[in-house]
């Protein structure tokens, strides 16, 4: 089974591409954002850890609405938590690291369970939709990675404020900056190898019709490099499947190290 990692940055159109892949190509989607909400529902271990760490210094961390009350407590006030962790100050970076340390391991476990489920169902491919795919290291398990990007961060900020009207200009900028430059993610995807479709970039600077055309081209290349019969062959012969998965991990690990060396060399030249 081919694992297609889908990533980008906030307001680049990643969710739109995910919808296209699901509706037009019948690919199952493992959405890390949905899983991230699941693992911090009231009563969960993640919820308790967040409340214990952020609660004392974030008075509005929990919603104060009787209609949303649950037997395990009030849900998290996500905008309030976002204001606490999004930003470029050292305090915001530290808080974001703590939050990621709570959420990422739980989400990773849910992802692995979902991958096993779809593999046993004989799926040709599955989309792993993770905003911080590279940062979390989950690109290691992906046969190919699609990055949805825009060339101008101002496009992201304007789209984000149009989508979330409650955000100020500063809030929008903090959220965009906190996820890193999507153009760097695009370069990292291309570093994986464009010829074998191990890394694909879909630019979303224009309208939806052009985005759909770009996705169609990307999926054509990906399907050609990993045909459906190959997925069935790996399912019928599990030892071969495990061997291919192991080789993919080795290749991706080497690619990760090569990317890190490249960034180190570029910094040393500055």
| Angstrom distances, CA of residue 226 to CA of 2, 160, 219, 237 | 7, 35, 10, 16
Instruction: Place 270 in a pLDDT band, splitting at 50, 70 and 90.
Output: low
**Residue 178's closest CA among 89, 86, 104?**
86
User: Given a cut of 90, is residue 72 above it in pLDDT?
Assistant: no
Lowest mean pLDDT among 45-49, 73-77, 169-173: 169-173
User: Where are the domains positioned within the chain?
Assistant: 1-28+124-270, 35-122
Q: Which pLDDT value is given to residue 135?
A: 87
User: Given a cut of 90, is residue 257 above it in pLDDT?
Assistant: yes
Torsion over CA: 246, 252, 254, 257 (sign)? negative
Tell me how crowded residue 150 is: count the other CB atoms within 10 A of its CB: 21
Question: What is the pLDDT averaged over residues 93-106?
Answer: 91
Q: State the chain's mean pLDDT as an integer.
A: 89
147 Cβ contact partners less than 8 Å away, ≥ 6 residues apart: 7, 8, 182, 185, 186, 188, 189, 199, 200, 201, 202
User: Given a cut of 80, is residue 110 above it in pLDDT?
Assistant: yes
In whole angstroms, what is the distance from residue 249 CA to residue 58 CA? 41
Lowest mean pLDDT among 63-67, 119-123, 149-153: 63-67
Fold of 1-28+124-270: Rossmann fold (3.40.50)
Q: Which pLDDT value is given to residue 85?
A: 87
In whole angstroms, what is the distance from residue 185 CA to residue 147 CA? 7
Superfamily of domain 35-122 in CATH is P-loop containing nucleotide triphosphate hydrolases (3.40.50.300)
Lowest mean pLDDT among 19-23, 45-49, 69-73: 69-73
User: Given a cut of 70, is residue 228 above it in pLDDT?
Assistant: yes
User: Given a cut of 70, is residue 23 above it in pLDDT?
Assistant: yes
Question: What is the pLDDT averaged over residues 113-134?
Answer: 92
Question: What is the pLDDT averaged over residues 179-184?
Answer: 84
Whole-model pTM: value is 0.84
Q: Which residue has the higher pLDDT, 173 or 220?
A: 220
Instruction: Annotate 201-238 with b (16+ C-beta within 10 A) or e (fewer).
Output: bbbbeeeeeebeebbeebbeebeebbeeeebeebbeee
User: Given a cut of 90, is residue 155 above it in pLDDT?
Assistant: no
Same fold, 1-28+124-270 and 35-122: yes
Lowest mean pLDDT among 109-123, 150-164, 210-224, 253-267: 150-164
Question: What is the pLDDT averaged over residues 9-38?
Answer: 93
Beta strand pairing status for 125-129 and 144-149? unpaired
């Amino acid at each position: 089974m081919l694992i297609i990692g889908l990533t980008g940055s906030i307001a680049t159109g990643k969710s739109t591409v995910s919808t296209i892949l699901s509706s037009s190509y019948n690919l199952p989607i493992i959405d890390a954002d949905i899983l991230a909400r699941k693992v911090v529902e009231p009563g969960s271990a993640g919820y308790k850890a967040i409340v214990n760490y952020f609660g004392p210094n974030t008075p509005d961390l929990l919603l104060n609405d009787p209609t949303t009350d649950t037997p395990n407590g009030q849900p998290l006030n996500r905008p309030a938590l976002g204001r606490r962790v999004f930003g470029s100050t050292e305090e915001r970076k530290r808080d974001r690291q703590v939050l990621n340390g709570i959420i990422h391991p739980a989400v990773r476990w849910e992802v692995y369970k979902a991958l096993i489920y779809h593999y046993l169902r004989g799926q040709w491919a599955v989309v792993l939709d993770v905003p911080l795919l590279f940062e979390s290291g989950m690109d290691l398990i992906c046969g190919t990675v699609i990055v949805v990007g825009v060339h101008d961060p101002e496009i992201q900020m304007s789209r984000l404020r149009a989508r979330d009207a409650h955000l100020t200009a500063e809030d929008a900028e903090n959220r965009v900056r906190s996820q890193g430059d999507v153009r760097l993610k695009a370069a990292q995807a291309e570093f994986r190898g464009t010829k074998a479709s191990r890394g694909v970039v879909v630019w979303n600077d224009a309208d939806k019709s052009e985005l759909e055309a770009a996705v169609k081209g990307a999926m054509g290349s990906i399907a050609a490099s990993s045909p459906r019969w190959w997925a069935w062959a790996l399912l019928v012969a599990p030892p071969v499947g495990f061997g291919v998965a192991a080789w993919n991990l080795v290749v991706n690990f080497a690619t990760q190290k090569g990317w890190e060396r490249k960034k180190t060399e570029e910094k040393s030249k500055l």
